[in-house]
Amino acid sequence: MNNFKQICFASVFILLCCLSAVAQRKTVSSPDGKITLNIDLSEAIKWSASYQGKEVISPSAISLVVNKEVLGKKPKLLSETKRKIDERINVDVPRKNKVEHNFCNELRLNFKNYAVSFRAYNEGVAYRFETGFKNGIEVNSEELNVNFNKDSQVFFPEEESMISHYERSYVDTALVSLSSSRFCSLPVLVTSAGVRVLITEADLFDYPNMFLSATGGNSLKSKFPPVVLEAEADPGKPDRNERIVKEAGYIAKISGSRTLPWRVFTMTPDDRVLAESDMVFKLSRPVAIDTKWIKPGKVAWDWWNANNIYGVDFAAGINTATYKYYIDFAAKYGLEYIILDEGWSKTTTDLTEPNPDLNLQELINYGKSKGVGVILWMLWKPLDENMDVLLDKFAQWGAKGIKVDFMQRADQYMVNYYERVAKECAKRHLLVDFHGAFKPAGLHRAYPNFMSNEGVKGAENNKWSKLVTPDHNLMLPFIRQVAGPVDYTPGAMNNANKISFREIFDNPMSMGTRCHQFAMYVVYESPLQMLADNPTHYYKEAESAEFISRIPAVWDETKVLDAKVGEYILVARKKASKWYVGAMTDWTARTMTLDCSFLPRGNYRIEIMQDGINAERNGNDYKKMVQKITNGTKLNLKLASGGGWAAIIEKAD
């Protein structure tokens, strides 16, 4: 009898242990069932993710240290809730689609004083912490150790400091080859078990940016800039660079009860899905302003071409006559804006008075008479010190927006600065373009007047380096652009191959062909899209200028038809009744196929810009063609080395 009791007790004990172990494991899957997110709540909160049964992200610990208390250590689950999210979001300034489908399954786990929410989309997974304290708190750190399968590869946007313009090249290497001293900004792209994992963040407000450090193994771990307590001007460039003098022992001071940023992991073996993904937008908070006044468009930009116009009867430079020339050019080609970059103000630190060599009010009025708005460049610090007065003045002058530059930091104060600029500009119906900036992380959904964002090694680097190659250009749609709008500033009219390219600051050129530049206007997403080259060049290349000027800056629908990270991409986008197609390749010449089955039935006229027969020798060479097609047509696209292909499709009469 005693033996029987012992056996029963042991059986019950084993059963309870098994039930307890099961209770510590939670699962949530994507609506299509391909992605499964597993959560273990034993000694710590650990999660892993698999794609079609294959583990892509191995068990990875997460925690949040608040007032020196570790949230996530030996977690005790109080309750959980599950829900299916299936909503259509109307997008005010659509970079990809006029309507986004927010479709996922969510699991929320509630603990004492905090919760963690996990979401599984068909295109990836995300999680975030939520705090529930009564009083304000200090966040000492947030831990993420994300572990991948062995032999994982990474496109690593390495940083030397968290004080940066975040304009990086992507180091394509084995993850395990990176030492623990190396770290990167976001987004970063890892390939694990044959699946692409794009890591970034969303709904970033009142909290620092996340960076990721290598570990010397197959993992990456989080890194954050501390709160800045004291900064001083850098003697080398005191008007625009800072040195951090004193930092706090915590990364943020926040309200005790709030959500933290989403940690976003786009997961797909299909590079087309990666380039189409808009998880950052879907995970960020809804629009916070009136948007009826916002007008996306294209911009004639002065700085890249150094105001180096010619064939005119006045001295080119930062003066009234030169900018009237830009306005006339913009009006001729239907561009909505011009930018007055550095030099329009009396000094870079005094934004209250224009440069005496130009009549700013006359220019703004002249632009208004021609239907062209004026956007003003400025350094972030002078604006920060006198924001209300300056923005009131810009609005009173009749400016349509501002371009804010040289922020370089990514700490909590600077994140709040971005929101403050966007919010205060919205009150005055001013657009915003951020340069010298970290990547987008959700602000563009809450404040759609935040139109575009640098944080990319773009065309301006052609002025002084050989780093912006077609290979580099073919990484951007799959990495940086997944986070949000990208102000690459395309439109170069002097196009060169590897041998011919030269760095010329005042008369720059691009690497790759003219059609490579054409295609950027379809492939790259920026609701404030630049025409970076000299208006004189555009006048001399009127056919090119006319074609570019007809490509929209926002879209109703996007389809990535063919793609491979770093090598090629073929994109079709719809605006109203027309379709626009762009194809780009790296330094490898290739033939691609455009299957027109995405078109509705009917007859269409397609206007094509394709690489000329001599484009590999002279990048300026292109050929224009017009023909009839239907949705049954398949076109062979021949792209030269560093080449491109672009087309406008409309219903035939």
Beta strands at 188-192 and 195-202: parallel, antiparallel or unpaired: antiparallel
| DSSP letters for 121-136 | ETTEEEEEEEEE-SS-
pLDDT the model gives residue 653: 78
| Residue 94 CA: distances (Å) to CA of 97, 320, 369 | 5, 34, 28
The whole-chain average pLDDT of the chain stands at: 96
Confirm whether 12-283 and 462-525+555-653 share one CATH topology. Answer: no
Neighbouring CB atoms inside 10 A of 601's CB total: 7
As a whole number of angstroms, the distance between CA 123 and CA 127 comes to 14
pLDDT the model gives residue 337: 99
Catalytic: which of 405, 525, 567, 611? 405
Nearest to 490 by CA among 455, 450, 453, 519: 519
Cβ–Cβ < 8 Å for 575, 581: no
The one-letter amino acid code at 448 reads: P
Nearest to 313 by CA among 323, 326, 300, 322: 322
Least-confidence region, from 232-246, 377-391, 459-473, 534-548: 232-246
State pLDDT tens for residues 248-283. 999 999 999 999 999 999 999 999 999 999 999 999
With tokens 């597993």, the residue in question is 38
The stretch 573-601 carries a mean pLDDT of 98
pLDDT the model gives residue 15: 38
pLDDT the model gives residue 21: 44
Instruction: Write down the pTM of the prediction.
Output: 0.95
With tokens 């969303």, the residue in question is 202
Maximum pairwise Cα distance, the chain = 112
Q: What does the domain layout of the chain look like in residue ranges?
A: 12-283, 462-525+555-653
Which residues are CB-neighbours of 572 under 8 A, at least 6 positions away? 558, 559, 561, 579, 580, 581, 598
Quick check: 52 pLDDT over 90? yes
The stretch 33-43 carries a mean pLDDT of 97
The stretch 498-518 carries a mean pLDDT of 97
Quick check: 97 pLDDT over 70? yes
Neighbouring CB atoms inside 10 A of 544's CB total: 22
Task: Detail the DSSP E strand segments found in 302-412.
Answer: 337-340, 373-379, 401-405
Quick check: 22 pLDDT over 60? no
Catalytic: which of 123, 411, 460, 556? 460
With tokens 């970079």, the residue in question is 95
Both tokens assigned to 405? 């530059």
Quick check: 109 pLDDT over 50? yes
Upstream peptide bond of 477 is cis (omega within 30 degrees of 0): no
Neighbouring CB atoms inside 10 A of 625's CB total: 10
DSSP state of 160: S
Q: Is 405 a catalytic residue?
A: yes
The stretch 213-225 carries a mean pLDDT of 98
Cβ–Cβ < 8 Å for 431, 451: yes
Which architecture does CATH list for 12-283? Answer: Distorted Sandwich (2.70)
- Phi/psi region, residue 203 (left: phi>0; alpha: psi -120 to 50; beta: rest), is left
pLDDT the model gives residue 5: 53
The verdict on domain 462-525+555-653 having CATH code 2.160.10.10 is no
Both tokens assigned to 190? 């890892």
How does residue 495 score in pLDDT terms, banded at 50, 70 and 90?
very high
State pLDDT tens for residues 416-454. 999 999 999 999 999 999 999 999 999 999 999 999 999
Distance from the Cα of residue 506 to its chain's centroid = 28
Neighbouring CB atoms inside 10 A of 291's CB total: 13
Percent helix, strand and coil across the chain, each to the nearest 5: 20, 40, 40
The one-letter amino acid code at 418 reads: Y
Regarding predicted confidence, which is higher, 537 or 236? 537
How does residue 235 score in pLDDT terms, banded at 50, 70 and 90?
very high
Both tokens assigned to 369? 């008479």
How does residue 50 score in pLDDT terms, banded at 50, 70 and 90?
very high
State pLDDT tens for residues 354-409. 999 999 999 999 999 999 999 999 999 999 999 999 999 999 999 999 999 999 99
With tokens 């912006």, the residue in question is 468
pLDDT the model gives residue 582: 99
How does residue 10 score in pLDDT terms, banded at 50, 70 and 90?
very low
The stretch 126-133 carries a mean pLDDT of 98
Backbone angles phi, psi at 546, to 5 degrees: -65, -40
Cβ–Cβ < 8 Å for 40, 47: yes
As a whole number of angstroms, the distance between CA 641 and CA 645 comes to 12
As a whole number of angstroms, the distance between CA 43 and CA 76 comes to 10
Q: Burial, 488: exposed, middle or buried (Cβ in 10 Å; 0-12, 13-18, 19+)?
A: buried
SS3 92: coil
pLDDT the model gives residue 2: 55
Task: Detail the DSSP E strand segments found in 422-538.
Answer: 431-434, 450-453, 495-496, 510-511, 528-531
Range list of H helices, 468-541: 470-473, 480-483, 514-523, 535-540
Quick check: 1 pLDDT over 50? no
SS3 643: coil
How does residue 223 score in pLDDT terms, banded at 50, 70 and 90?
very high
Instruction: Give the H/E segment covering residue 279.
Output: helix 279-283
In DSSP terms, which residues pair with 636 in a beta bridge? 593
Quick check: 315 pLDDT over 60? yes
Quick check: 299 pLDDT over 70? yes
